[in-house]
């Protein structure tokens, strides 16, 4: 029998229990930083050194974080379902938990690229980018992140995945940021949609099963329900 297809749409909340800050909670990253300064393409052209440092810090932090039970359960779903993870997170915790098909809509902390057209993408692991470092084309090396004001190149691929989903699991995202937040509306009308979050998320104008729990607890409940 063909396996059913699950698309997991994850956000910062799935990594919260691994000790990574979310963006919009009261103790979130954007409480302490000006989004325009550290997460927009304008910010990059105004002060690339500051942004290089900001992402160097995020990357260094990430090296010492571990995937949590929610990441592991997402990976474990692969034994029973065809699973695609569409994540807004730049961390690599889904990879380290063992998921195989991951679309990073907003880029990856462990990669860098040329500031000229975001070409020449390279793996840099957890090391810092130096301010004078160049990509292969001689342009400045920048974090491989999708900043506010930039296109989301993997959006089409994410839409194609969700259009063929039987089950959609939305976990740990406030659904504030488009186009990612609109993805769930591409799910087939008969797809089962589950939302796991300890808080109410943005109003969703589709029928969803809401599991008001932290990611680890909510994923365990849902995993047990789906893998009966």
174 binding ligand APR? (CB under 6 A): yes
CA distance 126 to 141: 15
Q: Is 71 considered catalytic here? A: no
> How are strands ordered across the β-sheet holding 141-145?
122-123, 107-114, 141-145
Q: Which of 71, 97, 179, 91 is nearest to 143 (CA)?
A: 91
Provide the minimum distance between the beta carbon of 191 and ligand APR in the complex, in angstroms, as a whole number. Answer: 20
Site string for ligand APR, 126-145 (x = CB under 6 A): --------------------
Tell me which of 71, 94, 104, 106 is the catalytic residue: 106
- Closest residue to ligand APR in the complex (CB): 13
108 binding ligand APR? (CB under 6 A): no
Provide the minimum distance between the beta carbon of 83 and ligand APR in the complex, in angstroms, as a whole number. Answer: 18
CA distance 178 to 175: 8
As given in the structure block, the two tokens for residue 194 are 């589950």
Query: How many other C-beta atoms lie within 10 A of the C-beta of residue 192?
Result: 16
The one segment of 12-20, 112-120, 150-158, 161-169 that binds ligand APR by CB under 6 A: 12-20
Helix (H, G, I), strand (E, B) or coil at 126: coil
172 binding ligand APR? (CB under 6 A): yes
Q: Which of 190, 191, 210, 193 is nearest to 201 (CA)?
A: 210
Which of 6, 7, 12, 113 binds ligand APR (CB under 6 A)? It is 12
Which of 121, 139, 152, 177 binds ligand APR (CB under 6 A)? It is 177
Element (H, E) at 111: strand 107-114
As given in the structure block, the two tokens for residue 184 are 């769930």
- According to DSSP, residue 219 is labeled H
The one segment of 16-24, 55-63, 91-99, 123-131 that binds ligand APR by CB under 6 A: 16-24
Burial class of residue 28, CB neighbours in 10 A (0-12, 13-18, 19+): middle
Which of 168, 173, 187, 193 binds ligand APR (CB under 6 A)? It is 173
Which of 6, 9, 23, 223 binds ligand APR (CB under 6 A)? It is 23
Provide the minimum distance between the beta carbon of 88 and ligand APR in the complex, in angstroms, as a whole number. Answer: 3
Q: With contact defined as beta carbons under 8 Å apart, do 142 and 115 qualify?
A: yes
CB of 161 or CB of 197, closer to ligand APR:
197
Which residues form the interface with ligand APR (CB under 6 A)? 11-13, 16-17, 22-25, 28, 39, 88, 106, 172-174, 176-177, 197-199, 201, 214-215
The catalytic site residues sit at 106
């Amino acid at each position: 029998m063909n396996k059913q297809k699950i698309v997991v749409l994850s956000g910062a909340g799935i990594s919260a229990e691994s000790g990574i800050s979310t963006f919009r909670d009261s103790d979130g990253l954007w409480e302490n930083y000006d989004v325009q300064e550290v997460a927009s393409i304008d910010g990059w052209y105004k002060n690339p050194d500051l942004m290089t440092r900001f992402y160097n810090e995020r990357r260094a932090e990430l090296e010492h974080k571990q995937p949590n039970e929610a990441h592991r359960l997402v990976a474990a779903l692969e034994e029973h379902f065809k699973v695609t993870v569409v994540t807004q997170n730049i961390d690599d915790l889904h990879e380290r938990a063992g998921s195989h098909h991951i679309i990073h809509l907003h880029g990856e902390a462990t990669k860098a690229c040329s500031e000229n057209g975001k070409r020449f993408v390279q793996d840099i692991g957890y090391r810092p980018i130096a301010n004078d470092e160049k990509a292969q084309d001689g342009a400045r090396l920048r974090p491989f992140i999708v900043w506010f004001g930039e296109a989301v190149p993997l959006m089409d691929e994410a839409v194609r995945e969700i259009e063929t989903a039987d089950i959609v699991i939305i976990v740990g995202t406030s659904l504030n940021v488009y186009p990612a937040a609109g993805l769930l509306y591409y799910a087939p009308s008969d797809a089962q949609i589950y939302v796991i979050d300890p808080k109410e998320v943005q109003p969703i104008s589709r029928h969803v099963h809401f599991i008001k729990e932290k990611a680890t607890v909510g994923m365990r409940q849902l995993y047990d329900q789906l893998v009966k």
